[in-house]
Amino acid sequence: MVVVSRNLRSKLYLIGSGPGDPDLLTIKAYKILEKADVLLFDHLVNPEILTIVPENCVKVYVGKEPYANFTPQESIHSLIEQYCRTYKCVVRLKGGDPYIFGRGFEELLFAEELGIEVEYIPGISSMQGAGFHNIPLTHRDVSDGIWALTGTKKDGRLSSDLQLAIQSNSTVVIYMGMKKLDEIARTYVMCGKGDTPAAIIQCATLPGQREVVCEVADLLNASRDSGLSHPAIIVIGEVVRLYASNRNSFILNDQLAKMKRN
C-alpha cells in the first residue's frame, strides 16, 4: 500500500447524520458540513442535510442500499484516499452513528494507515428513534439494558448473540433485520418466548414514520399486513408493552394477527 505523507494537510471527518430528521444533526456536525470540500454520503442521509455544504463542495454518493445496489467498501476507501490527496476538508457522512453498524471504524483505520488525520463526530443512532414512538429502550424494573444486534452479518447470517440476548432481562434492538423476521420469530419461539412484545419501526423521526406492535412470534405476519419494509429497526422486549398499554394497540394487533391466521 502506498503511504501518504504524515504532513498531508487534509482531514477526514467521520460524521453521523442521525436517524433521519435533519434537526437532530449535532451542532458540531453542522459546522463541519458548512466548510466541507468533499462529501461522501450514504444512502440513508436525508437530502436536506446535503444542502448544508457549500455550493462548490464535491458530493459523491457511496451508499449501500439494502438488498440492492451498493458501493463496495474497498471503493469507498479508494475515494477517501483520492480526495484526501487533493482536498483539505473531506467528510464521510453516514446515517445514524458511524460506529454503530456503520463501518466507520474500518474507514478510520484505513485513513490513519495512510497518515490522514481523522475526527469522529457521533450521530444519534436509529435505535433511539424508538423514543419518538414513546418506546423507551430502558425503563426501571422493566429492562436492565440494551442489546444492539445486526440482523445481517457480513456472511449474511443473523447474529448468534440473539440467543444470549433472549435470555436476558434487556431490550433487544435489531438493525438490518427485515429479511430475517421469520428467523428472529422462530428463535424466540424455540426459546419459549414467542409472546414477547415487539415493534417494527420504519423511517423513525421522518414524516412518513410508521410502526406496528405485535408479539415477536407474529413479526413476519405483522410486517406483511402493515406493508412495512426497510429502513426499519426491530425492538423486542417488555418496554414495547409500556407503549402498547397506553394505546391498547398491543392487544388489538395481537387479536388481528390471530384472526387472520385462523
pLDDT band at 233 (very low <50, low <70, confident <90, very high): very high
**64 — pLDDT class (breaks 50, 70, 90):** confident
DSSP output for 125-168: -GGGGGGGGT--S-BTTTBS-EEEEESS-TTSPPPTTHHHHHTS
DSSP letter assigned to residue 96: B
pTM for the whole thing? 0.86
Q: State percent of the chain over pLDDT 90.
A: 76
Last residue of a domain, one of 121, 140, 157: 121
Q: What is the pLDDT at residue 68?
A: 61
Catalytic residue among 42, 97, 218, 254: 42
pLDDT of residue 4: 44
Q: What is the pLDDT of residue 243?
A: 76
Does residue 2 sit within a domain? Answer: no
For 206, the grid coordinates are 421522518
The domain in which residue 215 lies consists of 126-261
Annotation marks residue 42 as catalytic: yes
Active site residue 254: no
Give the mean model confidence (pLDDT) for residues 172-183.
Answer: 95
The whole-angstrom separation of Cα 46 and Cα 208 is 13
pLDDT at 230: 85
Do 130 and 84 fall within a single domain? no
Instruction: Give the pLDDT band of residue 5 (cuts 50, 70, 90).
Output: very low
Answer with the one of 96, 121, 146 that is the final residue of a domain.
Answer: 121
Q: Which residue among the candidates 64, 179, 193, 225 is catalytic per the annotation? A: 64
Residue 37: CB atoms within 10 Å: 19
Please choose, from the candidates 232, 194, 223, the residue with its C-alpha nearest in 3D space to the C-alpha of residue 44: 232
Please check whether residues 105 and 140 belong to one and the same domain.
no
